[in-house]
Amino acid sequence: MSHPQTERRASLSGASNADTPDVFALVDRMVTKHLGRRELSLAVVARTVGYSPRQLQRVLKAQGYTWRSLVTSRRMDKAARLLSYGQRPKGVAHKVGYRPQHLAEAFVRHTGLTPSEARRAGQLESQLVSRSKSRFHPADLAAECRAVDAWSRLYQEAVGSSRKAKPRTAIADVLSSAVQHRPPPRPVAHPIGRRQQQLKLEFRRIPSGSVGPRARPSRNASRKNMGAEKGSTPDSARPGSTSGRNPGGRTAAT
């Protein structure tokens, strides 16, 4: 005859006599389902599945987790998915059981990116996927070059974010999917602007012994020089000047 408490626990958990992987899968589903509850605790989950807290800790340790690491990992994975979908950090914090002012620090520590960077990662993935699926129909060569340049900028931004993201996280998976959509090669080489061409010509005209091009005077220095030239008057025109006169003020005799 079975004990009534054992039957009750078996009915609640459905895995009282199951092996460790099945119990871990059950606990994982429970944690994922109730991530928005801040009072989610090891004792409550252990009591639900018919285990003591110490026994449940052993089950988690066999799978490479502690209770805290499991809950934090599932919360951050859900937060990363919601942020990549374009949701705002304040609403995401309430959905994963965090206060809004505490989400950013925990998210950066777990993923390596800020919540705003995670939102941007989702935008980059959607834009790169849409560009790779759409075909080019440029009106001319210049339009095709502009489209490839825009695609390349998005791709480089995604590559930079993927280098910052920590591996084996949900946001790293999003960025890994984004960088798979590499832009096509540019039809022509990137042109050099007029200013770059002028600097290139000036550099060629520099003698071999000189250090570099002569520095142009600044605008303020030019204005000061112009003002000094306008304000300067000869000594003979200044009032009280004695040039061309005798000390007594009489003109010299011819």
Sequential DSSP letters for 84-127? HTT--HHHHHHHTT--HHHHHHHHHHHHSS-HHHHHHHHHHHHH
Is residue 229 predicted with pLDDT exceeding 90?
A: no
Average pLDDT value for residue range 236-250: 50
What does the alpha-carbon distance between residue 23 and residue 94 come to, in Å, rounded to a whole number? Answer: 28
The per-residue pLDDT for 143 is: 84
Would you state the structure tokens that stand for residue 108, as one six-digit string?
């950066």
Q: What is the pLDDT of residues 115-152, one digit of tens each?
A: 999 999 999 999 999 998 886 666 778 888 888 899 99
pLDDT for position 17: 41
Prediction pTM value? 0.65
Give the mean pLDDT of the chain: 79
Task: Give the Cβ contact number of residue 49 at 10 Å.
Answer: 20
The H or E element containing residue 94 is helix 89-95
Which amino acid belongs to residue 104? A
Tokens 């998915």 belong to which residue?
81
Q: What is the pLDDT of residues 84-104, one digit of tens each?
A: 999 999 999 999 999 999 999
Which has more confidence, 10 or 205? 205
Higher pLDDT, 40 or 195: 40
d(CA 183, CA 132): 8
Cβ-contact 195, 145 below 8 angstroms: no
Q: How far apart are CA 125 and CA 130, in angstroms?
A: 9
**Amino acid at residue number 1:** M
The amino acid at residue 222 is S
Q: Which helix (H) or strand (E) covers residue 12, if one does? A: helix 4-13
